[in-house]
Amino acid sequence: MGEIKKLSELDENQIKQAVDVFIDGFYHILSNVSKDKNKLRELFKCSFDYDMTYAYLQDGTAIGFLGLADHKKRPISLNREVYIKIIGGFAGKSSYKAVSGAFEKAKDIGPLDIFIDYIATSPEHRSKGVGTQFIAFVRDVLGYKQIQLETYSKNKRAVMFYERLGFKVIKVKKSLFMALSGYGSLITLRFEAE
């Protein structure tokens, strides 16, 4: 059994490990920003709100990543100048606005809700209970009774996993771009404690 801590409570090596779990878990999307994982690590390490992001530690090693958003704020805030410096001149300038909008726009949830923005596990630790422990942590330790998250319809394993934990589909958003990209529809799921 591991432990869950805020990034602000971790040492530099554990923060690097947690950021790497995030990058590996979302590389299929982040590779549109840059294919260079070192650039992505540098960009996101300085962009996370360390009090809204958590790592799952097993024997002191970060093997899971959790980012939470409330109705006002998301766990990532990209600095334009830093983004352009890391990603590069023209590419940085042309993509910053779209990327920051995707990462920073507040989620449409109630003031008592929490939104699981990012949840990832290192490849060798998937399907070993880390995701379940993250959900239990948000629900039981942080005390949120209403939890929302999004996933893609093509990620049937994730949809089944969340439904097994009591989440219910509340919205399906179809997008030609997402369908053509191979993700399917964007599915919003919600958990409400009784």
Three-class SS state of 171: strand
99 close to 76: Cβ distance less than 8 angstroms: no
Which token pair is 99? 């990327």
96 close to 78: Cβ distance less than 8 angstroms: yes
2 close to 57: Cβ distance less than 8 angstroms: yes
> Tell me: the pLDDT tens digits for 153-169?
888 999 999 999 999 99
Which token pair is 16? 């690097």
Measured N-to-C along each axis, helices 80-87 and 89-104 cross at an angle, to the nearest 10 degrees, of: 130
Q: Give the CATH H-level superfamily of domain 3-144.
A: Gcn5-related N-acetyltransferase (GNAT) (3.40.630.30)
> Tell me: the pLDDT tens digits for 17-71?
999 999 999 998 888 888 999 999 999 999 999 999 999 999 999 999 999 999 9
161 close to 184: Cβ distance less than 8 angstroms: no
Which token pair is 87? 């990603």
- Between 76 and 101, whose confidence is greater? 76
pTM, to two decimals: 0.91
The distance from CA 33 to its chain's CA centroid, rounded to whole angstroms, is 16
Measured N-to-C along each axis, helices 37-45 and 80-87 cross at an angle, to the nearest 10 degrees, of: 170
